[in-house]
């Protein structure tokens, strides 16, 4: 009788373990499938739209493989690298809990060689974490630890990150909350370690003047391009903008206000 009970207990334990493993596998599969990939040509075009025209042809381009993270789609020769990030590493700064990866983020961004060595690395890492099924809240903690411990170093020299794409969907204030917005905001970001708005007389993002983003060792000075340049960019990428909007409604640009006409 005792042997029979022991066998029953073992069977129960086996069923419990199998159930837990099935749950873990299902959760991992859900994490891997969270981001729906763009068509390859659309993703490459969006990534390259972050750069000015004279740098696009010879830049390295990455596309997202949901099961691996970012992979090289085209090897370049001019030292510039572009991709469409799906999560901003700035979530590590937030006091809010990063509890889930979103499937509606588009952050076309390009770096020069200095930015590629420093500021691009966290983008690769968080994409890989998601692909491997690392829970979002753990990924936030790991990023925070890597920034604080110096694993992620500031760029070794002055330089620029280009974000000239006509479509940007990202956290509006990642250091404060998880609110997301879609913008038509082509701009430049210059590496500016430990520079504040007060240092440069910075204003707010809606102005045509420089302002600081993420003040600290990995900070930037942001500068929006001129209105005429924005009109030209929107015209050049009209078809791409339409394809993105058709792919997912949250990628549609907001209608311009009457005052902007």
Task: Pull the structure tokens for residue 61.
Answer: 């381009």
Question: How high is the pLDDT of residue 240?
Answer: 98
- Beta-carbon neighbour count of residue 253 at 10 Å? 16
> Counting beta carbons within 10 angstroms of the beta carbon of residue 115, is it exposed (0 to 12), middle (13 to 18) or buried (19 or more)?
buried
Q: Determine the distance from the C-alpha atom of residue 100 to the mean position of all C-alpha atoms in its chain, rounded to a whole number.
A: 14
Confidence of residue 13 (pLDDT cuts 50, 70, 90): low
Q: Report the distance separating Cα 104 and Cα 90, nearest Å.
A: 17
First-residue to last-residue Cα distance in the chain? 86
Query: What pLDDT does 27 receive?
Result: 45
Mean pLDDT value across the chain: 87
Report the alpha-carbon distance of residue 105 to residue 181 in Å, rounded.
9
Q: Which of 261, 171, 150 is nearest to 216 (CA)?
A: 150
Q: What are the domain boundaries of the chain?
A: 35-250
Which of 17-26, 40-49, 62-71 is predicted with the least confidence, judged by mean pLDDT? 17-26
What's the rounded mean pLDDT across residues 212-241? 94
Return phi, psi of residue 30, to 5°.
-65, -40
Query: pTM for this one?
Result: 0.84
Q: Where are the alpha helices (DSSP H) in the chain?
A: 2-32, 40-48, 53-56, 113-117, 121-131, 136-149, 197-200, 227-236, 238-247
148-164 mean pLDDT: 94
| Closest by CA position to 242, among listed 162, 167, 164, 181 | 167
pLDDT of residue 165: 98
Whole-number pLDDT of residue 17: 47
Q: Is the pLDDT of residue 4 over 70?
A: no
Please state the φ and ψ torsions of residue 48, each to the nearest 5 degrees. -70, -20
Compute the average pLDDT of residues 198-205: 90
pLDDT at 29: 41
Q: Dump pLDDT digits (tens) for 104-136.
A: 999 999 999 999 999 999 999 999 999 999 999
pLDDT of the residue at 217: 87
pLDDT band at 204 (very low <50, low <70, confident <90, very high): confident
Kindly indicate the confidence band of residue 6, based on its pLDDT and cuts at 50, 70 and 90.
Answer: low
The pLDDT value recorded for residue 34 is 61
pLDDT tens digit sequence for 233-252:
999 999 999 999 999 999 99
pLDDT attached to residue 215:
84
The pLDDT of residue 164 is above 90: yes
Mean pLDDT in residue range 212-228: 92
- For residue 54, pLDDT over 90 is answered with yes
């Amino acid at each position: 009788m005792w042997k029979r009970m022991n066998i029953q207990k073992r069977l129960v334990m086996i069923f419990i373990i199998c159930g837990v493993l099935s749950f873990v596998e299902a959760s991992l599969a859900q994490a891997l499938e969270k981001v729906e990939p763009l068509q390859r040509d659309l993703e490459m075009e969006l990534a390259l739209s972050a750069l000015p025209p004279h740098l696009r042809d010879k830049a390295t381009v990455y596309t997202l493989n949901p099961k691996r993270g970012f992979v090289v789609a085209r090897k370049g020769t001019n030292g510039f690298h572009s991709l469409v990030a799906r999560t901003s590493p700035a979530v590590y700064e937030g006091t809010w809990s990063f509890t889930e990866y979103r499937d509606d983020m588009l952050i076309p961004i390009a770096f020069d060689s200095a930015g590629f060595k420093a500021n691009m690395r966290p983008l690769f890492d968080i994409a890989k974490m998601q692909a491997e099924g690392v829970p979002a809240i753990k990924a936030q903690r790991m990023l925070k630890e890597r920034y604080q411990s110096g694993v992620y170093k500031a760029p070794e020299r002055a330089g620029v990150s280009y974000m000239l794409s006509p479509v940007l969907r990202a956290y509006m204030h990642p250091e404060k909350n998880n609110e997301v917005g879609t913008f038509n905001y082509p701009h430049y970001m210059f590496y500016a370690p430990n520079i504040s708005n007060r240092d440069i007389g910075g204003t707010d993002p809606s102005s045509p003047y420089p302002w600081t983003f993420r003040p600290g060792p990995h900070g930037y000075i942001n500068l929006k391009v001129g209105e005429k340049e924005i009109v030209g960019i929107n015209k050049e990428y009209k078809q791409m903008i339409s394809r993105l909007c058709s792919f997912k409604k949250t990628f549609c640009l907001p209608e311009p206000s009457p005052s902007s006409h």
